[in-house]
Amino acid sequence: MWKSNPEGGPERLVALADGVFAIAITLLVLDLDVPRGLTGREYHDALREVLPDFGAYALSVVVLGSFWRDHRRIFRTVREVDGQLITLSVFGLGIAALVPFPTRLISEYGGEPVSVAVYAASVAALGAAHLALVAVLARRPWLRGDITPVGGFGLYALDLAVTVTVFLLTIPLTLVVGAAAAWWWLVLVPLKISLGRRARVPADQ
């Protein structure tokens, strides 16, 4: 499994990833619910109570959607897969399928530092799996086609490493500031914008 013996094209693995990410995002919707038979006041109270669920849903849709896009971009460069590439992909997909669970923790117990830490650990693990995929492809040109990521594998790896680092740092931060450590994730917005601009520079020249 860990030897680089090409085992065919990436089409089935990409199709599997599409299905896993689609199902994971669909499962997030199941947590959004308002009971039936409520009076006017109860109905409005129930809507207010479900707002954290919508917030957690939106966060995880962005996270899963971003990683799905990254997975597609990674495999755009792949001509053949080997055992290690398959193993790392399945590992990452297993984590992606798990994301609805920490999402539920965030929506139900968002004030608990443990919920934030578990969510951060899940996202960091998913990012690490994708980072490992990029590292394998960078060292095994025989698995790649003629397409190279814009900015090269180094910039691509840096983008994923930033995500992993930010979410990993959240875990010790919860010991200091509690669940408010989740606000630390906003630092990814300017970082991602900056890296995105760097990736577009070669195409504009």
User: 10 Å Cβ neighbour count for 145?
Assistant: 13
Its domain, for residue 36, covers 11-204
> Cα–Cα–Cα angle for 66, 121, 15, nearest 5°?
40
Q: Are 5 and 83 in contact (CB under 8 A)?
A: yes
Report if residue 6 sits inside a domain: no
Residue with the bigger pLDDT between 43 and 159: it is 159
The pTM score is 0.86
Report if residue 1 sits inside a domain: no
What pLDDT sits at residue 204?
A: 42
What are 8-62's pLDDT values in tens digits? 888 999 999 999 999 999 999 887 777 777 777 777 877 777 788 888 999 999 9
Report if residue 166 sits inside a domain: yes
CA 196 to chain centre: 17
Report the pLDDT averaged over residues 143-168: 83
What are 80-110's pLDDT values in tens digits? 888 889 999 999 999 999 999 999 999 889 8
Question: How crowded is the C-beta side of 154, counted as CA atoms within 13 Å?
Answer: 2
DSSP, res 141: G
Q: Quote the number of domains for the chain.
A: 1
User: 10 Å Cβ neighbour count for 182?
Assistant: 21
SS (H, E, C) 42-91: HHHHHHHHHHHHHHHHHHHHHHHHHHHHHHHHHHCCECCCCHHHHHHHHH
Report if residue 157 sits inside a domain: yes
What pLDDT sits at residue 32?
A: 76
Report if residue 187 sits inside a domain: yes
What pLDDT sits at residue 3?
A: 56
- Report how far apart, in Å, the C-alpha atoms of 137 and of each of 126, 145, 165, 189, 198 are: 17, 10, 21, 27, 21
Confidence of residue 203 (pLDDT cuts 50, 70, 90): very low
What pLDDT sits at residue 1?
A: 43
Closest CA to 115 of 41, 60, 70, 193: 60
Report if residue 3 sits inside a domain: no
